[in-house]
């Protein structure tokens, strides 16, 4: 049985009532041992995510959003128990940045990226910068550009201007601004500006945004699901722009789900890494040759208790 089949079957079993709470924990442990066995997943070379590199692999708080809303400290304990100490916070969950930094420090954890909404950057960017620096973050990330209907050239032009402005202000505060793609921005480039955008016949408004923003001020966080979902190849885009991406959301899409340009899909379509449609070894090897520094696991599904340990085990098997 291959790794993908093994992971898919493991996910199915864990989501049944065949095991009680403690048996599930033992099963996950056994699966982890099996996955890291060379007989199961033989690859040559160094690990892409060695356990000794504590910062490279992280977790986005959105994965545990329901738990964080109830108890930030206990949720951090859960994540640290999985061997993850690097966080990207996309919400303060009713706490102050100072409170969360203290909780992180108590556990020997850190926050490297802080996600905010577009209106926050438009209306209170100084507060955003202050919170990010208090958290200890290096990056400030936004994951959605407000728009109605299809993402248009006019919206893309405004986005470029805004991003350059946001990025310049944040750089002056010692922070790096990143845009997290969400699928809708892969609309084809209109003919009227096609000559301004480098690339082949498949160039998109995402290419327009990357090429029109100033690399001094604007970087990117690739969400690989929201790159694949609209029909793009994440590995090829990483090769096209090897120095523009600094962060990544690592996730997988349920087999059989067809994508589109909406920027949305039911959260149940997020599956354990290695059990879905994405060619993760290809993508992550390309990412390793790019400028990406931190890789955050994001799983929006209600099955994180079973899926996240499987995802971490899968990532620990990957070789360069």
Q: Name the residue ranges covered by the structural domains of the chain.
A: 46-317
pLDDT (tens digit per residue) in 158-188? 999 999 999 999 999 999 999 999 999 999 9
Residue 280, CB-side half-sphere exposure with 13 Å CA sphere: 28
Which DSSP string corresponds to 218-247?
A: EEEEEESHHHHTTT--HHHHHHHSTTTEEE
pLDDT (tens digit per residue) in 12-71? 555 555 445 544 554 555 455 445 444 334 456 899 999 999 999 999 999 999 999 999
pTM exceeds cut of 0.75: yes
Coil, strand or helix: which one is 313? helix
What is the CATH architecture assignment of 46-317?
Answer: Alpha-Beta Barrel (3.20)
Residue 184, CB-side half-sphere exposure with 13 Å CA sphere: 17
């Amino acid at each position: 049985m291959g790794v993908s089949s093994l992971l898919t079957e493991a996910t199915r079993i864990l989501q049944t009532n065949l095991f009680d709470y403690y048996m599930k924990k033992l099963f996950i442990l056994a699966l982890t041992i099996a996955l890291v066995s060379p007989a199961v997943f033989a690859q040559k070379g160094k690990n892409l995510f060695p356990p000794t590199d504590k910062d490279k692999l992280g977790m986005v708080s959105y994965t545990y959003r329901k738990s964080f809303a109830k108890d930030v400290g206990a949720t951090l304990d859960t994540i640290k128990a999985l061997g993850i100490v690097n966080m990207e916070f996309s919400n303060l969950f009713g706490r102050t940045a100072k409170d969360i930094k203290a909780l992180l420090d108590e556990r020997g954890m850190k926050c490297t990226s802080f996600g905010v909404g577009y209106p926050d950057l438009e209306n209170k960017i100084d507060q955003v910068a202050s919170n990010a620096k208090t958290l200890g973050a290096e990056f400030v990330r936004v994951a959605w550009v407000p728009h109605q209907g299809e993402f248009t050239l006019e919206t893309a032009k405004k986005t470029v201007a805004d991003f350059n402005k946001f990025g310049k202000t944040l750089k002056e505060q010692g922070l790096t601004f990143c845009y997290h793609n969400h699928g809708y921005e892969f609309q084809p480039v209109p003919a009227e500006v096609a000559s301004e955008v480098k690339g082949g016949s498949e160039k998109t408004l995402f290419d327009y945004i990357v090429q029109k923003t100033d690399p001094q001020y604007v970087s990117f966080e690739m969400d690989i699901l929201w790159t694949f979902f609209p029909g793009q190849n994440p590995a090829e885009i990483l090769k096209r722009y090897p120095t523009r991406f600094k962060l990544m959301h690592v996730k997988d899409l349920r087999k059989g789900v067809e994508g589109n340009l909406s920027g949305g899909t039911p959260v149940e379509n997020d599956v354990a890494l290695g059990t879905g449609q994405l060619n993760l070894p290809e993508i992550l090897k390309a990412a390793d040759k790019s400028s990406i520094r931190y890789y955050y696991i994001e799983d929006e599904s209600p099955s994180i208790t079973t899926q996240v340990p499987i995802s971490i085990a899968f990532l620990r098997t990957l070789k360069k």
